[in-house]
Chains A and B, each alone.
Chain A
Amino acid sequence: MPPRSGGPEELRISGDDDVVRVRQLVRTYAQQTKLSLVDQTKLVTAASELARNTLIYGGGGFARVEEISDGRRSGVRASFHDEGPGIPDLTLALADGWSSGSGLGLGLSGARRLVDEFDLDTEVGRGTVVTVVKWKR
């Protein structure tokens, strides 16, 4: 693999394979940022959840991954974009165990617990963007 700059990199999400690719890309950034093994695994797992939601509920979209810094510490930011139906009831969607499909309903709520920052921007009929950040400790 060529050396990566920390700059943003985007991956299309339109199939099962892409979810795996997103996971691998996030893992590469997490390693490069020298997150601990536990934090790497947490971030990768959160990315897996969000990418799959983008695919299944958002009807596909893309992921953007980048290395960031707030001056004191570095971290990895990953965002997941789709132009799907949006989420009508956020409280419900973020509740543990609620799924409009046949999932465990722990993807969104679980991903939120796995990361340091979690931002969900959604509008019915327009789409959804979920952004997560994991800082290096």
Chain B
Amino acid sequence: MTADAGDAQRLTEVLRANAESLIDKWVSAVAGLLRGRSTKTELERDFREFFTALLPLVGSDGRDVGGPRFTEIRSLLEEYSRSRVRAGFTPTETASSVFSLKREVFELTQDDPSLHREVLVFSGLLDSLGLLTFESYARVREEIIREQAEQLLELTTPVVKIWEGVLAVPLVGTLDSARTQVVMEKLLESLVETGSEHAIIDITGVSAVDTQVAQHLLKTVVAARLMGAECIVSGIRPQIAQTIVALGIEFGDIVTKASLADALRHALRREGVDVVRREVG
């Protein structure tokens, strides 16, 4: 449904003439809806921008909301949704911010029946724009989840100092290349920070080692060596060992140990520490 240009223009005039009071009421309504979680000042700034971008679009019923005329308002809405998502608002609350303008416009025009048809079209426009915030919301949620996953990846990369001069990093689960890379970089950084000369990379928890993971491992070992540190790879289980051999990967002179404990014993011996069993009792 599209009203003719004349009517659209009249509604635009009415909206423009009443801009201040409309924005004011709109802000109050939404501020009430959000129960103080957004200040009126913030809302007013956002809504004023939004209102200005909206005026030239009056007359559209919102079915062309993906089109070039809507570029500006789309990016405003996207920005608005983005800040809402991050502030923890629900998608309904965000979309309601847009829908709330309807009520104010209905009230403003209720005594002028000649505008009703146009207001109906306008209402369709706001519906489309409100729905856009839902889409942005979903998109921004995904962005946030991805960011958090990346952060988690770094957090769950435990490089631990298990002895003076000895670091250990247990690798677990499915190693994709992003994760292996993060782990290896973290390990090299930690070597520098702690001035350690030994690093144990324990792969007991790893389900498969392919050539890419092996390449990351090899590069790390070489880089560590250049920094004067020695890496020990421990926990290569039988099925992994057989697979590595069949793949044709050569670990060369890299020290490998069956278990983390063996690797630690080796590192300590190199550090000049002897672990001896003493009689108890």
Chain A contact residues, CB within 8 Å of chain B: 16-17, 19-20, 23-24, 27, 37-38, 40-42, 44-45, 48-49, 52, 96-97, 103-104, 106-107, 109-110, 113-114
Contacts and interface: CB of A to CB of B under 8 A. Distances in A.
A106 B212 contact: no
Interface of chain A, main secondary structure: helix
Interface of B: 174, 176-178, 207-212, 214-215, 238-240, 242-243, 246-249
B238 A38 contact: yes
Interface of chain B, main secondary structure: helix
B174 A24 contact: yes
B228 to A, nearest CB: 26
Nearest to B238: A38
B215 A104 contact: yes
B147 to A, nearest CB: 15
Nearest to B214: A104
A42 B243 contact: yes
B246 A44 contact: no
B247 A48 contact: no
Contacts, number: 69
Contacts of B238: 38
Most-contacted residue by chain A among B174, B238, B240, B246 (CB, 10 A): B246
B95 to A, nearest CB: 30
A106 B209 CA distance: 13
Contacts of A42: 239, 242-243, 246
Nearest to B209: A45
Most-contacted residue by chain B among A45, A52, A107 (CB, 10 A): A45
B247 A106 contact: yes
Nearest to B210: A48
A114 B212 contact: no
Contact of A41 (B211, B212, B239): B239
Given A27-B207, A41-B207, A109-B248, A16 B243 contact: no
Question: Which 4 pairs show the lowest CB-CB distances between chains A and B?
Answer: A110-B247, A41-B239, A48-B210, A38-B239
Contact of B243 (A19, A41, A107): A41
A42 B239 CA distance: 8
A41 B176 contact: no
B208 A16 contact: no
B211 A16 contact: no
Contact of A44 (B177, B178, B207, B211): B207
B248 A48 contact: no
A45 B248 contact: no
Contacts of A19: 176
Given A52-B212, A103-B215, A106-B211, A45 B249 contact: no
A45 B208 contact: yes
B207 to A, nearest CB: 7
Given A23-B174, A113-B248, 5 more contacts: A16-B178, A19-B176, A37-B239, A44-B208, A49-B210
B240 A41 contact: yes
B152 to A, nearest CB: 15
